[in-house]
Amino acid sequence: MLEFEGRDRAGRTVSELIIHESVTRSAISTVAVLQRRKLGVHLIVAPDGRVTQHGDLAHERLAHAGGHNGPSVGVEVVNPYYPYLLRDDLPWRRTIDDAPWAHKDAYVLPTPEQAEATSKLIGWLASPKALGLDIPREWIGVDDGRVRMGRVDGGDHRRPGVYAHHYFGHADGAWLILYAWLRLEVGLPPCVAYEEAVARATSARRTIDVSDLLPSEPTA
């Protein structure tokens, strides 16, 4: 396992989880690009859903999210992102061609295996099972029945919880957060959550209304 060069967290509490997408077409090229740019992430999700670890989650500070580096774990999901980067021999099969929230208004969907692996990572990393971490299952981009698909007010400020990189940086990670929220909070099965996330993200702009999926208030 290659470990990215980082710095010791010096006892800082790890309270944030940040989901990135790579704009690459393999785990190997993802590592090479990050190394060349002197960046690093703790975990990489390959096209088949396999997860590799590239840094100590609790103790190693890696460069992946600017001012959020200190208290965060970085997850990089390998994804070409732009439809023009697809080839017939690649595993990504679906795109959203009407995606105003995405850079250049179109988006390559992560494979179902990647989406599910990312959801499981979020569920585990934001739980007491992840020893040495203190990441709450607080969805920074979900509020009042709406899921943000872009920048979040105050997203540059450190706040414990789960982030898409898009909330404060480049236009990546938001669809994966939507899928994970549908899996973990709504409880939809993987295939249903995937299609629901595709349908709701198609033609969406800055936010997606999910209020109809929230538990109804009990009646007196």
Q: What is the model's pLDDT at position 64?
A: 97
d(CA 134, CA 177): 19
Query: Is residue 42 assigned to a domain?
Result: yes
- Once rounded to an integer, what is the mean pLDDT over residues 42-54? 98
Q: Which of 152, 146, 129 is nearest to 57 (CA)?
A: 129
Query: Is residue 215 assigned to a domain?
Result: no
pLDDT, tens digit, 9 for 90 and up, residues 115-173: 999 999 999 999 999 999 999 999 999 999 999 999 999 999 999 999 999 999 999 99
Query: Is residue 117 assigned to a domain?
Result: yes
**pLDDT grade, residue 217 (50/70/90)?**
low
| Mean pLDDT for all residues in the chain | 96
Q: Which of 44, 174, 208, 195 is nearest to 103 (CA)?
A: 174
Q: What is the model's pLDDT at position 90?
A: 98
CATH number at residue 86: 3.40.80.10
Query: Is residue 217 assigned to a domain?
Result: no
Query: Is residue 7 assigned to a domain?
Result: no
d(CA 183, CA 60): 29
Query: Is residue 6 assigned to a domain?
Result: no
Q: 90: domain range? A: 12-210
The CA angle 211-212-216, to the nearest 5 degrees, is: 90
Query: Is residue 59 assigned to a domain?
Result: yes
The CA angle 169-49-66, to the nearest 5 degrees, is: 20
CA-CA distances (angstroms) from residue 87 to 25, 80, 84?
A: 10, 10, 8
pTM of the model: 0.96
Give the count of domains, the chain: 1
Query: Is residue 55 assigned to a domain?
Result: yes
Q: Which of 103, 108, 135 is nearest to 121 (CA)?
A: 135
